[in-house]
Structure 1
Amino acid sequence: MKIQEVYHGFRLLRETPVPEADVTAYEFTHEKSGARMLYLKTTDDNKVFSITFRTPPTDDTGVAHIVEHSTLCGSRKYPLKEPFVELVKGSLNTFLNAMTYPDKTMYPVASRNDKDFQNLMDVYLDAVFYPAMRENPQVLMQEGWHYEIESPEAPLTYSGVVYNEMKGALSSPDDLLESKIMAALYPDTTYHYESGGDPAAIPQLTQQMFTDFHARYYHPSNSYIYLYGDMDIDEKLRYLDEAYLSHFDRIPVPSHIDRQPAFDALRHAAQEYPVSVGEETREKTFLSLNWKIGEAQDAKTMFAFEILEHALLRTPAAPLRKALIEAHLGKDVDSEFETDLMEPFFSIIINNSEAERQEKFYTTVMETLRRLVADGLDRTLMEASLNRFEFKLREADFGSAPKGLIYNIHCLRSWLYDGDALDYLFYEDTLRELRDGLAQGYFERLIETYLLDNPHVVLLTLAPSTTLAAEKERVMTEELAARKRAMSAEEIQAVIEGTKALKLRQQTPDTPEALATIPVLKLDDIRRKAYELPLAVSKIAGRKLLESDVETNGIAYLTFYFDASRVAQADLPYAYLLCALLGSVDTQEHSYMELANLANLHTGGMSFDLGAYTYKDAPETFLPKLRVKAKALTRKLPELFSLLREILMESQFTDAKRLKELLEQEQVSIEMNMQRSAHNVVASRLAAYFTKAGAYEDEGALPYYEFVKSFLKDFDASLVRLREAASRLLPRLFGGEELVVSLTISASDAAAAKAELGHFLQQLPAEAYPKEEYHFPLKKENDGFLSASQVQYVGKGANFKQLGFSYTGAMRVLETLLRYGYFWTKIRVQGGAYGAFTRLRRDGQLFFGSYRDPNLKETLDVFDGTAEVVRHFEATDREMLKSIIGTMSGVDMPLTPRMKGDAAAECYLRGITYEDRQQSRDEILSTRQEDIRALAPLIDACMHENAICVFGAEEKVNENAALFGRLTRVMD
């Protein structure tokens, strides 16, 4: 291709090699429609496509978010109710979603299969340009909001997927805090508004406003099209032009984002968040200091500020974090550097504080920053943070997210605002400049410019309120009652009929003709053989070595599986606590701050956690392990092993002040995670009712949280017990011959790595300790957890192995069918929840769960009806094929080098062989309707166990108190 030549309507503007990402970038513009396009050519077979629109909101109705949901509810070529769901069920996608940001909406897909990739592109492009939402008001009703009433005597209520999602999201204080920070920092621009939608404002969105928003922004002239991977780009350009873009003329689109005028001086703001009526409000206030920081197009400054944030606040050696903790302003310090905006912002947040401490907070921050500038930042600290940042860039491990998708998001940080789309992919020159800047005062000047001398700053408090939730509910109830009183009998009947019509539409299956429009792969398109997980088993220094030969780009990934069965059951809380403390306390050789700097200088990180495995499909087995994960460049392994030896064998628990800080931070961290991921709390507790492994892991959830709280209430006495426990437990945890080590590394680096590993293992204690007995009650308590959430997380489960049933690969297909069929329709579409989960595992664990759900009993009724639905399950051969293919997309999800090593090691520990995985794969691929129906007795037996757990709104849980064996307020 030649620069400035036109290919299928696309003019090539630039071709640029980007060695850092191992791609060559091609930038195009579509002459007729005005669409921008970026193609990153690479050998990666996990191809990514996305189309993004700049969508700045002008109110809090959440219209951008609701349109994002709604475009995927049928289109010109795909006239189904939910093409998105049909794609999930029948595609080999490795990523399929859509995301609303404060100023843009992204529609990304990914697949390793060429035909599947093309199908995904076409469904998404037809959805965004020709959605059914423009003609069908029921789409807004379902995905956004609608009045709901079933009889003239009943009260009027609101429902809708996004409405309920945002009720849940804005019940979480950290989500609410970010929304309020943006409103305070950008009072005159689009960032003032909640793009996700404020539940109080969502019902103001009309059908006309809804369709106008789509018409305004969803045009190729306002689009950013992205392709990544190994593909025929000429074919893709032809397709994009002929199928879509040539049908549009270039137009001006009013999506420009205005800059926020700078403030003259510090501003103050105060907001509230809801807590339960009986919850303690003392020291539950959030303090935040927030600055507008430069512009996103300035990639060097953004990289530098990310390093600076880590150095100042994100590492145990961070001086600003230390100063804030020592000022006794709150229990924990957090920070956020948000770069996915035209004008990014930086926040320092104090958790568990009081409003009257805000001035001391501000003074402490500013005085500490002035001192750091005057004295100069510690060179070792800055080098350590820069090295950690560089390691992350070079590793490019984004877990299950496709690498091409993350590159896309990074490109948009500049591209969306008319900057260079490639700025965030290049980093070698920037790293050199930043390293040179360490000795030239660059980072000190950054502090002066953007923090000390920057008047665009807001000091915001978010205080707890025991009346706010009830007040909002009262206002909403009164508004709805007033609205109903103002309605005529005919209008009320119209709402009743509208509710019925919506439910009828939701319950009516798509026609075979409509379903046939969604393209489906063939079974021949799916690989029949299970993928190998490279693993060689040997011995090293008397311990078992699991070696995975994977190309890792010079990085060694290590996991040490220490035998934790030598820890007494009574000591489990201390074992969990030690995992949280190790690496963050002093050792005999270094202070915790020195240790943190050394870890950041020489490694990619270390972590410590406890878990329990079951052997294969035997739920009664119980293999508790303490996992120590570490990674480093192979040449840095001597330093890594030196640090590990020091942490495992020489950690000191004598600094009471430091330990109290860590315990308070641990409590806050658990509370925030519970509010973000309460479904995990529910799943953990349900598993604890049935198996030792489940009960063991649940000890690290809510019981551990209660242990941390009680530790802090009687800190001095608890500290004595901790020191005694540490001296007792550390030799038991980190010694013995039963240790299993997993090493994932390139073959060329293996010999050197194993030599260093063997030397390290010889230094570990080898003393034998007896295995301890564990006696968990394994009793169905049917817990109801009360919280300030406005939504529920509902769970029901059992262990089908204990009920006499066997695992089969067809269960994976049933998961797909339920999650995107029966549960999707009943719990999400009709019930208004954000989502629902199904889990049937080899060890017998069955879990049904809902997420951000306005209902409770109704959802349990859906779970109870599952067996009957499965018993009478019928589907065409085409629908069965789609479900099998959709299931295989999860089975064959691409794995990073680290993930391959982890998967191989876990299969070995659980005794799962290649033959087992192949058998499961064969069973999935051969699943038929009768195999699904045959699972009905299993589901029925599990539901009749009547084991439930719910985390939800205090009022809703109390209304259903008869369902529960015990009720517990989670946070007091």
Structure 2
Amino acid sequence: MDLSLNDHLHGFTVHTREPLSEIDGTAYTLHHEKSGAKLLYLQNDDANKAFSIAFKTPPADDTGVFHILEHSVLCGSDKFPVKEPFVDLLKSSMQTFLNAMTFPDKTMYPVASTNEQDLLNLTDVYLDAVLHPAIYGKRAIFEQEGWHYELADDVEAAEGDSVAGDAVAATEAADGSARLTLNGVVYNEMKGALSDPNSVLYDELQAALFPDTAYRFESGGMPRAIPDLTYEQFLEEHARHYRLDNSYLTLYGDLDLERMLAFLDERYLSPVAAEEATRDQERAASSQEPLVPHELRAQAPIVARDAVRTMATAPENACVGLGYVIGDAAQRTRIVATEIVLDALMGSNEAPVKRALLDADLADDVQAFLADSLLQPFVVVQLRGAKPDVAERFRSTFEAAIREVVACGIDRTLVEASLSRAEFVMREGDFGMADGVALSMTALAGWLYDDALATSYLHYEDDFALLRKELGQGYFERLLVDVFLESSHKALVEIRPTDGDEEAYEAERLAAAEATMAPDDFARIADEEAALRRLQTEPDTPEALATLPRLSVADIGDAPAEPAYDLDTETPVPCLRHDITTHGIAYTYRYFNLEGISFEELPYVSVLGMVLGKLGTASHTAAEIDTLVNGQLGNLSFFPEIHEEENGPGELAPKFVVSASALTENVEAACALPLEIMLTTDFSDAGKIKDVLQQRRIGMEQGFAAAGHSAAMARAASYYLPAGVAREQLGGVDFYRFLKDLLAHWDERADDLTARLADLASRLFVDDGCTISFTGTREDYDRFWSAGAITGRHASRERRLNLPAPVVRNEAFIVSTDVCYAAQGYDRRALDASYTGVWQVAARALSYDFLWNEVRVKGGAYGAGFGAMRTGNLRFYSYRDPHLDETLERFADASAWLAAFSPERDAMEGYVVSTVASLDAPTKPRMQARRQDGDFFAGRTPETRQQTRSEMVGADAAAVRALAAPLASAIAEGAYCTFGSKDIIEASRTRFDVIDLLGE
């Protein structure tokens, strides 16, 4: 549908219309007259359509009220009175994105789908959720998602319906034999999030830069402050901010605009505008102040140098941050230019300013990034693994390095390379989510602060063209002086580790609360907890479930066309040729055989992947390699991976991967540069290698605390999968221990390491057993091979990789976090259980029904799930979990739940629809090619994927129940692992081999 300026359509008026080449389409801004809602329509041919509604939500304190609201409004509404419509949609829709996000100054509710009716359904549920949520009639939603007290010794009574049991427990509590605990999904989520020193540093830096504005508060909520939030304040903040005149709507893609606008106007915008007007009149008539959103204002320039925060964490987590405000959100080109020059000077170990900081020996690592999508974007420069008392030296060293760059002039090739890299990223458009969702977020980086900036952040081609013209003209040097050297708005913040108890505030708060309570107060808490448990346990009524819009299996449609690929054996080495449209980008992967590497050498293989591209070669210095890669390639990476066949646990295809991508004009570079690095890297610079290893160590340690579920699942897999054993050597706990030992004995091991790396490179990078994968045009394919894609080297193909047998260890790793991550699993193939697509339907049911209710809703964990891998791995996990034993008990109960699985017909069809939709979801060219490569090495054909899809489509409840027996057998093997809080692990009744991972 083509719109013109000032067109009136279903209550909307078109304000602007402009072509937007960056999305191959047109952007329109519209205004809804009755409600005041603003709408941005991004029109193009993308079948993956999207809708989003966002609200400006600047916090006024650290209670995390907008984060709790983000969770809570998705727990039922007037039109859809079910407990978890959000989860019901995950179980039943064809969504390609479904989530909600809290930012420092806004809250977003985006959805996407390839099916237009499904998108309309999702929009319907989301709009009713945010505008008519059930929170006003159900206080328990606030308690579940935000915070509530529980009686620690009253678990069994609270889980039942026995009022007598609650009264007994309350009396015991009054006598002092029970104690209070705090629980709540957001409360536990933020305990986990703020166990990360990097998150704490960012919060402290933002507070120091903006002490007089909403940005001084943690929008997600500080665990110390979350229990200060009352239910009444919670409701008031919803009424104050979730108003249509404070909303920003986005539509994206190839959709029926008139149908969508009519729906928005008739179902929500006009009726809700009338409701809001009535409420405003009632408040005015009763002399109440109008509920207007909190103000979001700019911070006057300030210099803060002495901000120090102590934190109970490991000494190696010490960190220091510098923050420099760039300007305001309206200065889009200035912000882009700052990001480009920051990448040029700090984007790699060889970038000049980062190299100066690393050489100053201030810390194990230095990072820099741009904090944008704020009214006043700022640069963060951060030390990780900071040494004691280096904060002021860090500032002076950084600014001295900037001063030297300005004095000498920025190397033009560095900025050109960073511009090229940024252009590649934008052209590739691989956002990691549906494009329409990512673009709606991007638009708000300007639109939230000025209606005239609705499309400002969607344009990038003009900025890049302008900045290229400014190369060599002094623009970037002046920018460095203005942003860094003459800044009047900056801060220096330090996080100092201590030996204290980070959770002491919780015990103090609970003790103080208990001291003021009478027996009736404990009885009330017991009653409230019991009421919450009843709400969580009682199923939705058939009438409530019937209100949800649903698709049927008949709506699924045919499978998307699978791009063709084949093995070209006429090339110098076999080549997987993918027929995928890439919009002017070529993707190349070289797969080298790892079977000639011994098990003991696997950690060195990972180190090899980490350092390649970061050292000099026979023809170029490390800095020159870095600039060439950034300027000519979109991506260059080196890493090992293990491919598994479906039916044989020991049937592995271990590969070392060399990945390169480039714009079509640089396809020869995608051939030549990786070859130069593979064949002629000089491994003698031990200092540069040590920098890389220290950075990886820090990254792994922080990953154990921030994403411990991934580490726990990987470690548990090594108890029963040969591939898991290999992966632990390559990148898990075993590799981390290798890395720590290597760094602890660096002086005596450095020479041996450099020799090993050179030897490995000579043995690995040979044409024998190598397979290449190429995705791009036929012309680019021919140019790639004409450039000389092979190594020209040969070596013995003797198999040396013999893996030790997996052994169940049941380990509990203590790491720096206040929560826990639990994992359990086993190899389906060891139980003679075959794989079918029904496993994926069962996994969806277990994840979004049983585990969601038992571990997240009742247990307070931020997340939990179950996965059934085609290659045998059946695995459970929990994420940011306040419990351990209770979660493992829920895992143990999963097979019984599956054995009794008997959903209504509509619910069963929903599971099938959503499972098939996840398989059919659109993917970017790079991921399509990688998936096909994986299928090839695992011995799977395109027909295998189609068969799996057919099995999903045909799944019924009986087929799902049939999987309960093999699942029960897997659970009975008792292979579990956890990463988490020392207090939680040491209080566990489960038999673990407890290991203080960071203190080993």
Same fold (TM over 0.5): yes
C-alpha distance in 2 between matches for 1:555 and 1:499:
57
| 1:408 to 2:440 alignment | yes
Which range is displaced more, 363-372 or 480-489? 480-489
* Equivalent in 293, 303, 309 of residue 271 of structure 1: 309
Q: Which residue of 1 aligns with 2:298?
A: 259
| 1:811 to 2:842 alignment | no
C-alpha distance in 1 between matches for 2:457 and 2:570:
42
| 1:680 to 2:710 alignment | yes
Q: Which residue of 2 aligns with 1:234?
A: 258
For 2:299, the aligned partner's letter is Q
Residue 364 of structure 1 aligns to a residue in which SS?
A: helix
C-alpha distance in 2 between matches for 1:126 and 1:495:
31
What is the TM-score of this pair, normalised by structure 2? 0.94
For 1:846, the aligned partner's letter is L
**Relative to structure 1, is the Cα distance of residues 439 and 201 closer, same or farther in structure 2, using a 3 angstrom cutoff?**
same
Q: Which residue of 2 aligns with 1:464?
A: 497
Q: List per-residue Cα deviations over 1:296-352 (Å, max 9, x = no partner).
A: 121101111110111111123311101101111011001121101111111111111
Q: Which residue of 2 aligns with 1:953?
A: 981
C-alpha distance in 1 between matches for 2:682 and 2:417:
23
| 1:603 to 2:633 alignment | yes
Q: In 1, are the aligned partners of 2:895 and 2:967 still within 8 Å (CA)?
A: yes
**C-alpha displacement of 1:822:** 0.6
**C-alpha displacement of 1:540:** 4.5
Q: Which residue of 2 aligns with 1:206?
A: 230
Q: Which residue of 1 aligns with 2:284?
A: none
Q: Which residue of 2 aligns with 1:23?
A: 25
Which range is displaced more, 226-235 or 1-10? 1-10
Q: In 1, are the aligned partners of 2:821 and 2:978 still within 8 Å (CA)?
A: yes
For 1:621, the aligned partner's letter is E
**C-alpha displacement of 1:75:** 0.4
Q: List per-residue Cα deviations over 1:778-802 (Å, max 9, x = no partner).
A: 0001111011211000011100110
Structure 1 moving runs of 4+ over 6 Å: none
Unaligned runs of 5+ in 2: 155-168, 281-289
Which range is displaced more, 760-769 or 679-688? 760-769
* Equivalent in 528, 553, 564 of residue 498 of structure 1: 528
Identity fraction in percent: 38
Q: Which residue of 2 aligns with 1:191?
A: 215
Q: List per-residue Cα deviations over 1:619-640 (Å, max 9, x = no partner).
A: 2211110111110022212223
C-alpha distance in 1 between matches for 2:826 and 2:340:
46
* Equivalent in 189, 192, 205 of residue 165 of structure 1: 189
| 1:858 to 2:886 alignment | yes
| 1:800 to 2:828 alignment | yes
* Equivalent in 538, 541, 555 of residue 508 of structure 1: 538
* Equivalent in 684, 699, 704 of residue 654 of structure 1: 684
Residue 822 of structure 1 aligns to a residue in which SS?
A: helix
1:364-513 equivalence runs, <5 A: 364-399=397-432, 401-418=433-450, 419-469=452-502, 472-473=503-504, 475-513=505-543
Q: In 2, are the aligned partners of 1:582 and 1:647 still within 8 Å (CA)?
A: yes
Residue 543 of structure 1 aligns to a residue in which SS?
A: coil
C-alpha distance in 2 between matches for 1:159 and 1:756:
58
**C-alpha displacement of 1:809:** 0.9
For 2:947, the aligned partner's letter is Q
Residue 801 of structure 1 aligns to a residue in which SS?
A: helix
For 2:720, the aligned partner's letter is F
| 1:906 to 2:944 alignment | no
Which range is displaced more, 252-261 or 315-324? 252-261
1:58-137 equivalence runs, <5 A: 58-137=60-139
Q: List per-residue Cα deviations over 1:242-279 (Å, max 9, x = no partner).
A: 1111120578943431111111x44220012222xxx5
Q: In 2, are the aligned partners of 1:732 and 1:769 still within 8 Å (CA)?
A: no
Q: List per-residue Cα deviations over 1:476-497 (Å, max 9, x = no partner).
A: 2232122123122112101101
| 1:217 to 2:256 alignment | no
**C-alpha displacement of 1:288:** 1.0
Q: Which residue of 2 aligns with 1:768?
A: 796
C-alpha distance in 2 between matches for 1:694 and 1:4:
61
C-alpha distance in 1 between matches for 2:813 and 2:780:
52
C-alpha distance in 1 between matches for 2:749 and 2:989:
35
Residue 949 of structure 1 aligns to a residue in which SS?
A: strand
Superposed CA RMSD? 1.5
For 1:371, the aligned partner's letter is E
Q: In 1, are the aligned partners of 2:822 and 2:877 still within 8 Å (CA)?
A: yes
**C-alpha displacement of 1:530:** 6.1
C-alpha distance in 1 between matches for 2:100 and 2:127:
12
Q: In 1, are the aligned partners of 2:588 and 2:670 still within 8 Å (CA)?
A: no
| 1:690 to 2:737 alignment | no
Q: In 1, are the aligned partners of 2:671 and 2:789 still within 8 Å (CA)?
A: no
Residue 291 of structure 1 aligns to a residue in which SS?
A: strand
Q: In 2, are the aligned partners of 1:961 and 1:967 still within 8 Å (CA)?
A: no
**C-alpha displacement of 1:134:** 1.8
Q: List per-residue Cα deviations over 1:732-757 (Å, max 9, x = no partner).
A: 21113211111111xxx324423423
Unaligned runs of 5+ in 1: none
Residue 359 of structure 1 aligns to a residue in which SS?
A: helix
| 1:290 to 2:323 alignment | yes
Residue 874 of structure 2 aligns to a residue in which SS?
A: strand
C-alpha distance in 2 between matches for 1:231 and 1:528:
20
Residue 483 of structure 1 aligns to a residue in which SS?
A: helix
Residue 926 of structure 2 aligns to a residue in which SS?
A: helix
Q: List per-residue Cα deviations over 1:697-731 (Å, max 9, x = no partner).
A: 11121111111211112113211221221232112
Q: In 2, are the aligned partners of 1:56 and 1:257 still within 8 Å (CA)?
A: yes
Q: In 2, are the aligned partners of 1:685 and 1:698 still within 8 Å (CA)?
A: yes
Q: List per-residue Cα deviations over 1:901-937 (Å, max 9, x = no partner).
A: 1111111111112222122111111111111111111
Residue 967 of structure 2 aligns to a residue in which SS?
A: helix
C-alpha distance in 2 between matches for 1:63 and 1:57:
8
* Equivalent in 395, 402, 427 of residue 362 of structure 1: 395
Q: List per-residue Cα deviations over 1:802-855 (Å, max 9, x = no partner).
A: 011111111101111011101000000000000002111111101100000000
Q: In 2, are the aligned partners of 1:611 and 1:696 still within 8 Å (CA)?
A: no
Give the total of aligned pairs: 959
Q: Which residue of 2 aligns with 1:339?
A: 372
Q: In 1, are the aligned partners of 2:704 and 2:815 still within 8 Å (CA)?
A: no
What is the TM-score of this pair, normalised by structure 1? 0.97
Q: In 1, are the aligned partners of 2:324 and 2:380 still within 8 Å (CA)?
A: yes
| 1:780 to 2:808 alignment | yes
**C-alpha displacement of 1:389:** 0.9
Q: List per-residue Cα deviations over 1:644-687 (Å, max 9, x = no partner).
A: 11100001111122222222222222222222221111111111
Q: Which residue of 2 aligns with 1:726?
A: 757
**Relative to structure 1, is the Cα distance of residues 966 and 479 closer, same or farther in structure 2, using a 3 angstrom cutoff?**
closer
Residue 105 of structure 1 aligns to a residue in which SS?
A: strand
Q: Which residue of 1 aligns with 2:774?
A: 743
| 1:12 to 2:14 alignment | yes
C-alpha distance in 1 between matches for 2:880 and 2:380:
27
Q: Which residue of 2 aligns with 1:628?
A: 658
Q: In 2, are the aligned partners of 1:222 and 1:255 still within 8 Å (CA)?
A: no
Q: Which residue of 1 aligns with 2:53?
A: 51
Q: Which residue of 1 aligns with 2:166?
A: none
Q: Which residue of 2 aligns with 1:941?
A: 969
**C-alpha displacement of 1:859:** 0.2
Residue 356 of structure 1 aligns to a residue in which SS?
A: coil
Q: List per-residue Cα deviations over 1:193-240 (Å, max 9, x = no partner).
A: 010000111011111100000000111100000000001111111111
Residue 865 of structure 1 aligns to a residue in which SS?
A: helix
* Equivalent in 791, 795, 803 of residue 819 of structure 2: 791
For 2:308, the aligned partner's letter is A
Q: Which residue of 2 aligns with 1:243?
A: 267
| 1:663 to 2:663 alignment | no
**C-alpha displacement of 1:767:** 2.5
For 1:391, the aligned partner's letter is F
Which range is displaced more, 930-939 or 244-253? 244-253
Which range is displaced more, 491-500 or 665-674? 665-674
| 1:717 to 2:745 alignment | no
Q: In 2, are the aligned partners of 1:266 and 1:455 still within 8 Å (CA)?
A: no
